[in-house]
Amino acid sequence: MSPSPAGEPPLGPHPAEPRRPDGEHEVRGHTFRDTGEGEPEATPPLSPVREPRRLTWQKLTFLPVTLLVVLLITWLWFRNAELDSISQNALADGNVWVRLRQHIELTVISTFFVLIIAIPLGILLTRKRLRPAAPFAMALANIGQATPAIGLLALLVIWMGIGKKAALVGMVIYAVLPVLSNTIAGLKANDPTLLEAARGIGMSPAGVLTKVELPLAVPLILAGVRTALVLNVGTATLATFGGGGGLGDLISTGITTQRMPVLVLGSILTVALALLVDWLASLAELLLRPRGLEVRS
């Protein structure tokens, strides 16, 4: 090792480089210092995603308030109207509430039978073994709804006799189509890759149906149920011609006796009930829809 010049410390085999300030580096003998312009900016903390409300106050209040106003105006008009003995007899002894209760019973019972018939049948017709029978079943359902309701009711009265039973059977036949067709369409619209993935993880056919297929088809099925409910409210007014009762009794009495107060009261109550049922069905449609199927804006 050669001696070092005087006044300079001896150099070792690897002389220690002086510590550079932070951000300074040397490239080919030239010293550079970072100014911080290329440094990534700190990512701001993500605010939690706020899920949109399913029910708004407008949805909850607008239609009920409107119906209350209409019914209040009708009651005030009816209170000040001059009723003769025929109109009083048609509305005496709580007849209005009796007919309203009968109308609601007809709607609820017929819709119940529509659901227990149409939804299981729609599920069966989308299975592999019964899939060829789906067009035939849909054709029968189309015939049932294409037939005029009053004509269908008349045929059922001839076959089953006068009474509530014939009216219920006619309402069920008339309202099966929307629920059946929507159930089949909802199950057929499911993505086959999702069903294959569910089978791939070992789910049984019943598990695939209850945990994948039906939840995905819920929106379409609920839309069909909503349509069937409104159809049944309207069709129940024709039950009076078969002895089934309901608000149709008030309407037919008002027409045959030419008593406007009775006719107006029966008509407004029928319209208000149909709108109320449609509103309740729309709320159920929003609440029962799986959250994973909601479209976020």
Which amino acid, 89?
Answer: N
Question: Which H or E run includes 164?
Answer: helix 164-188
Write down the domain spans for the chain.
Answer: 57-291
With b for 16 or more beta-carbon neighbours within 10 A and e for fewer, the 47-86 pattern comes to eeeeeeeeeeeeeeeebeeebeeeeeebeeebeeeeeeee
CATH superfamily of 57-291: MetI-like (1.10.3720.10)
Note the pTM of the prediction, 2 decimals: 0.75
Neighbours of 258 (CB within 10 A): 9
| Contact between residue 218 and residue 288 where contact means Cβ atoms under 8 Å apart | yes
Q: What is the pLDDT along the chain (297 residues), one digit of tens a residue?
A: 455 555 555 554 555 556 666 666 666 666 666 555 555 555 555 555 565 666 787 888 888 999 999 999 988 888 887 888 888 888 887 888 999 999 999 999 999 999 999 999 999 999 888 888 988 988 888 887 788 888 888 888 888 888 889 999 999 998 999 999 999 999 988 888 888 898 888 888 888 888 888 888 998 999 999 999 999 999 999 999 888 889 999 999 999 988 888 899 999 999 999 999 999 999 988 888 876 655 544
